Amino acid sequence: MENNAKFLTETALRISGVNPRKCMKCGKCSGTCPNYDAMEYHPHQFVAMVEKGQIEKLMQSKSIYLCLSCMACVERCPRGVEPGKLVEAVRLMQIRQQDKNHKGARDIPEFADESVPQQLLMAAMRKYRK
Protein backbone atom coordinates (compact mmCIF):
# COMPACT_ATOMS: atom_id res chain seq x y z
CA MET A 1 0.00 0.00 0.00
CA GLU A 2 1.41 3.38 -0.87
CA ASN A 3 1.88 5.87 1.92
CA ASN A 4 -1.18 8.02 1.42
CA ALA A 5 -3.48 5.03 1.14
CA LYS A 6 -1.96 3.64 4.27
CA PHE A 7 -2.50 6.90 6.14
CA LEU A 8 -6.10 7.12 4.94
CA THR A 9 -6.79 3.51 5.95
CA GLU A 10 -5.38 4.04 9.39
CA THR A 11 -7.44 7.20 9.79
CA ALA A 12 -10.62 5.41 8.74
CA LEU A 13 -9.94 2.58 11.14
CA ARG A 14 -9.12 4.94 13.99
CA ILE A 15 -12.20 7.11 13.54
CA SER A 16 -14.56 4.18 13.11
CA GLY A 17 -12.99 1.77 15.57
CA VAL A 18 -13.78 -0.97 13.06
CA ASN A 19 -11.62 -4.03 12.46
CA PRO A 20 -12.41 -5.13 8.88
CA ARG A 21 -10.51 -8.38 9.35
CA LYS A 22 -13.39 -9.64 11.47
CA CYS A 23 -15.61 -9.68 8.35
CA MET A 24 -16.44 -13.21 7.11
CA LYS A 25 -17.83 -11.89 3.84
CA CYS A 26 -21.34 -13.15 4.40
CA GLY A 27 -23.08 -10.15 2.88
CA LYS A 28 -25.65 -9.84 5.63
CA CYS A 29 -25.03 -6.07 5.86
CA SER A 30 -25.79 -5.63 2.17
CA GLY A 31 -28.77 -7.93 2.47
CA THR A 32 -30.01 -5.65 5.22
CA CYS A 33 -29.25 -2.18 3.80
CA PRO A 34 -32.46 -0.27 2.96
CA ASN A 35 -30.71 2.07 0.54
CA TYR A 36 -28.68 -0.57 -1.27
CA ASP A 37 -29.89 0.21 -4.78
CA ALA A 38 -29.01 3.91 -4.54
CA MET A 39 -25.47 3.25 -3.36
CA GLU A 40 -22.61 2.61 -5.78
CA TYR A 41 -20.61 0.84 -3.06
CA HIS A 42 -22.49 -1.36 -0.63
CA PRO A 43 -21.82 -1.88 3.05
CA HIS A 44 -19.86 -5.13 2.59
CA GLN A 45 -17.76 -3.36 -0.06
CA PHE A 46 -16.93 -0.57 2.35
CA VAL A 47 -15.50 -3.19 4.66
CA ALA A 48 -13.61 -5.02 1.90
CA MET A 49 -12.30 -1.84 0.27
CA VAL A 50 -11.08 -0.32 3.51
CA GLU A 51 -9.28 -3.59 4.24
CA LYS A 52 -7.61 -3.34 0.83
CA GLY A 53 -6.76 0.34 1.31
CA GLN A 54 -9.08 1.66 -1.40
CA ILE A 55 -10.32 4.59 0.65
CA GLU A 56 -9.94 7.25 -1.98
CA LYS A 57 -12.45 5.54 -4.26
CA LEU A 58 -14.90 5.47 -1.39
CA MET A 59 -14.28 9.14 -0.54
CA GLN A 60 -15.04 10.12 -4.14
CA SER A 61 -18.24 8.09 -4.24
CA LYS A 62 -21.71 9.53 -3.63
CA SER A 63 -22.40 6.44 -1.57
CA ILE A 64 -21.05 8.13 1.54
CA TYR A 65 -23.94 10.62 1.36
CA LEU A 66 -26.53 8.06 0.37
CA CYS A 67 -26.05 5.90 3.43
CA LEU A 68 -29.01 6.61 5.73
CA SER A 69 -26.97 6.05 8.88
CA CYS A 70 -29.73 3.73 9.97
CA MET A 71 -27.08 1.37 11.36
CA ALA A 72 -29.16 -1.66 10.43
CA CYS A 73 -25.97 -3.23 9.07
CA VAL A 74 -24.23 -2.57 12.38
CA GLU A 75 -27.08 -4.16 14.26
CA ARG A 76 -27.27 -7.28 12.07
CA CYS A 77 -23.65 -8.13 11.31
CA PRO A 78 -22.99 -11.57 12.80
CA ARG A 79 -19.32 -10.79 13.38
CA GLY A 80 -19.74 -7.39 15.03
CA VAL A 81 -17.91 -5.57 12.21
CA GLU A 82 -20.10 -2.42 12.17
CA PRO A 83 -19.89 -1.42 8.47
CA GLY A 84 -22.08 1.68 8.97
CA LYS A 85 -19.45 3.16 11.21
CA LEU A 86 -16.93 2.82 8.41
CA VAL A 87 -19.24 4.64 6.02
CA GLU A 88 -19.55 7.38 8.60
CA ALA A 89 -15.79 7.56 9.08
CA VAL A 90 -15.07 7.84 5.36
CA ARG A 91 -17.73 10.53 5.09
CA LEU A 92 -16.10 12.48 7.92
CA MET A 93 -12.71 12.17 6.26
CA GLN A 94 -14.11 13.50 3.01
CA ILE A 95 -15.91 16.42 4.64
CA ARG A 96 -12.96 17.41 6.78
CA GLN A 97 -10.54 17.64 3.90
CA GLN A 98 -12.92 19.57 1.62
CA ASP A 99 -12.63 22.95 3.29
CA LYS A 100 -9.84 22.13 5.70
CA ASN A 101 -12.04 23.58 8.42
CA HIS A 102 -12.07 20.65 10.81
CA LYS A 103 -12.61 21.82 14.37
CA GLY A 104 -11.28 19.86 17.28
CA ALA A 105 -13.24 19.37 20.47
CA ARG A 106 -11.16 22.10 22.10
CA ASP A 107 -12.31 24.64 19.50
CA ILE A 108 -15.96 24.19 20.29
CA PRO A 109 -16.23 26.45 23.36
CA GLU A 110 -15.36 29.53 21.29
CA PHE A 111 -18.53 29.04 19.24
CA ALA A 112 -20.64 28.53 22.29
CA ASP A 113 -22.65 31.60 23.10
CA GLU A 114 -26.10 31.77 24.59
CA SER A 115 -27.84 31.32 21.26
CA VAL A 116 -26.34 27.85 20.69
CA PRO A 117 -28.66 25.18 22.01
CA GLN A 118 -27.18 22.70 24.48
CA GLN A 119 -28.19 19.68 22.39
CA LEU A 120 -26.18 20.96 19.47
CA LEU A 121 -23.14 21.30 21.64
CA MET A 122 -23.53 17.81 22.97
CA ALA A 123 -24.08 16.39 19.51
CA ALA A 124 -21.03 18.22 18.19
CA MET A 125 -18.91 17.01 21.05
CA ARG A 126 -20.00 13.48 20.41
CA LYS A 127 -19.36 13.64 16.72
CA TYR A 128 -16.14 15.65 16.49
CA ARG A 129 -14.40 14.29 19.51
CA LYS A 130 -12.96 11.55 17.29
Partner 1 sequence: MQKIGVFVCWCGSNIAATVDVEAVAEAVKNEPGVVFSANYQYMCSAAGQKLIQDAIHEHHLTGIVVCSCSPRMHEATFRKTAESAGLNPYMVEIANIREQCSWIHKDKEEATAKAIVLAKAAISKLRNDTPLQAGTSAVTKRCLVIGGGIAGIQTALDVADAGYEVDIVEQRPTIGGRMAQLDKTFPTLDCAACILTPKMVEASQNEKINIISYAKVEKVSGFVGSFKATIRKKARFVDETKCTGCSLCTTKCPSRKGKNEFNMNLDNRGAIYIPFAQAIPNVAVIDPEQCIKLKTGKCGLCEKVCSAGAINYKQEDELIEREYGAIVVATGFKPIDPSPLNEFGYADNADVVTSLEFERLMNAAGPTKGTLLRPSDGKHPKTIVFIQCVGSRCEENTKRGKPYCSKICCMYTAKHAMLVREKYPDTDVHVFYIDVRTPGKNFDEFYRRAAEQYGVDYIKGMVGKVAKEGDKLMVQGSDLINNEQVHIAADMVVLATAIEPDPTARSIGTMLTASMDTNDFFTEAHPKLRPVESPTAGIFLSGVAQGPKDIPETVAQAGAAASKVIGLLAKDHLVTNPCVAQSNELMCNGCSQCEKVCPYGAITYVEKEVRGPGVREVRRVAQVNPAVCQGCGACTVTCPSGAMDLKGFSNKQILAEVDAICRW
- Residue 80 lies near partner 1 (rule: CB under 8 A): yes
Rounded Cα distance, 119 and 122, in Å: 5
CB of 11 to ligand SF4, least distance (A): 19
Question: Contact with ligand SF4 (CB under 6 A): which of 8, 23, 55, 93?
Answer: 23
User: Least distance in Å: CB of 22 to partner 1?
Assistant: 7
Residue 24 sits in the site that holds ligand SF4 (CB under 6 A): yes
Q: Choose the contact partner of 31 out of partner 1, ligand SF4, none; CB within 5 to 8 A by kind.
A: partner 1
* Residue 20 and residue 98 in contact, taking contact as beta carbons nearer than 8 Å: no
The amino acid occupying position 67 is: C
Instruction: Report the alpha-carbon distance of residue 39 to residue 36 in Å, rounded.
Output: 5
Angle among Cα 29, 91, 33 to the nearest 5 degrees reads 20
By C-alpha distance, which of 44, 21, 48 is closest to 31?
44
Does 26 contact partner 1 by CB under 8 A?
yes
Does residue 85 bind partner 1 (CB under 8 A)?
Answer: no
Q: Which of 17, 40, 65, 69 binds ligand SF4 (CB under 6 A)?
A: 69
Tell me the CA distances in angstroms from 127 to 44, 52, 113, one per residue in order: 24, 26, 19
65 belongs to the binding site for partner 1 (CB under 8 A): no
The length of the chain in residues reads 130
Residues lying near ligand SF4 in the complex (CB under 6 A) are found at 23-29, 32-35, 43-44, 47, 67-73, 77-79, 81, 83-84, 87
